[in-house]
Amino acid sequence: MHVLVVDDEPVIRSGLVKMTERYTPSFSRITTAENGIAALERIRESEPDIVLTDIRMPKMDGLELSRVLQEEYPHIAIVVISGYNDFEYAQTCMRFGVKHYLLKPVTKPDIHEVLDRLVRRPARGYMPPSRYVEWIDRMEKHIWALQKDELGEVAQRWRDHCVSAGMPLAQLKELLDDCHTLLLKRFEARKYAPVSDKTYMRATGVKEALEAFEQCLMQMADALFAVRSGNFRDPMEEAKAYIDGRLSQEISLEQVAAMVGLTPTYFSALFKKMTNETFVKYRINKRMEKAKELLSVPHIRIVDVAAEVGYDDYPHFTKTFKKIVGVSPSDYRTGLGIK
């Protein structure tokens, strides 16, 4: 399990970490943040299972952090730490799903008692439906975006939960097969029919079954990548066609990424890898190619050429054209014998 400790005072933050480190069984990760804003950044990078947060902090306090977590990450357990005078204020967190409070000064027994309540094992083999659906959502998202690192992290958290729940092998296989079937149905709705080997059904142990299921997820991502790289659907060709057809418009990387069904970060990296150019560089070069075509038509004014390739600022167009082509637009036209 992963615990995030949030407090703006370094000494208190360090103390909370040390008390949490002494808890048995130990946590796989204990991370820290100095305020609510920093905490949200950490959570979006890697979701914790438990958040221990002070109520009073600069930039974003524990109350606001609890509100955001309730909206975006309702499955994360929150423990609010408050001073005696803040306790009544802290109780307003109840409507944000907070069920655990600690009064300062916090001691090791206090921390360990609340962790006992949060870490206490559920009924053997039980998996909360909300958590199950959440994991399915994330698996689908990361496979479709070809985010294999993130997919591996989700699979690891799934594995840890199944192991900690003490799920029998037969029940685990049933759960994995149900998950696999649901993912296939979701991808079929996206007009993609992945083929993956259900080796997890032949596993002789829990660990083997979970490892086989993770390989099954990776196979889905690899197959999708192969499909997109072939004739059926190449997202880079779709992206380039979309850009080429809108050179006069100010379209963003985020827009194009959404159009091809990829996250902006992954799309940016994949676009550069496949074209040897950044998104911005590719669009500029295409605009200049289009500008050269238009400049070869005598009756089109240079200022209209600029507008046609997305430059309302004429000086900026001439500067960019000269930088890419090597001569100004007027000199380029003169070189074609057009006056």
Sign of CA dihedral 142, 147, 148, 151: negative
**Residue 105: pLDDT band by 50, 70, 90 thresholds?**
confident
- DSSP state letter for 81: E
CA–centroid distance for 100 within its chain: 28
Average pLDDT over residues 226-243: 72
Average pLDDT over residues 87-93: 61
Average pLDDT over residues 191-199: 77
How would you label 288-321 residue by residue, b for 16+ Cβ within 10 Å and e otherwise? bebbbebbeeeeeebeebbebbbbeeeeebbebb
- DSSP state letter for 96: G
Given a cut of 90, whether residue 118 has pLDDT beyond it is: no
Quote the pLDDT of residue 95.
62
Q: What angle do CA 138, 35, 153 make, to 5 degrees?
A: 25
Token digits for 166?
A: 């003490």
Quote the pLDDT of residue 89.
62
* Euclidean distance between CA atoms 267 and 234, whole angstroms: 12
pTM of the complete model beyond 0.75:
no
**Residue 123: pLDDT band by 50, 70, 90 thresholds?**
very low
Token digits for 172?
A: 């685990």
Kindly report the average pLDDT of the chain as a whole number. Answer: 83
**Residue 137: pLDDT band by 50, 70, 90 thresholds?**
confident
* Euclidean distance between CA atoms 81 and 165, whole angstroms: 28
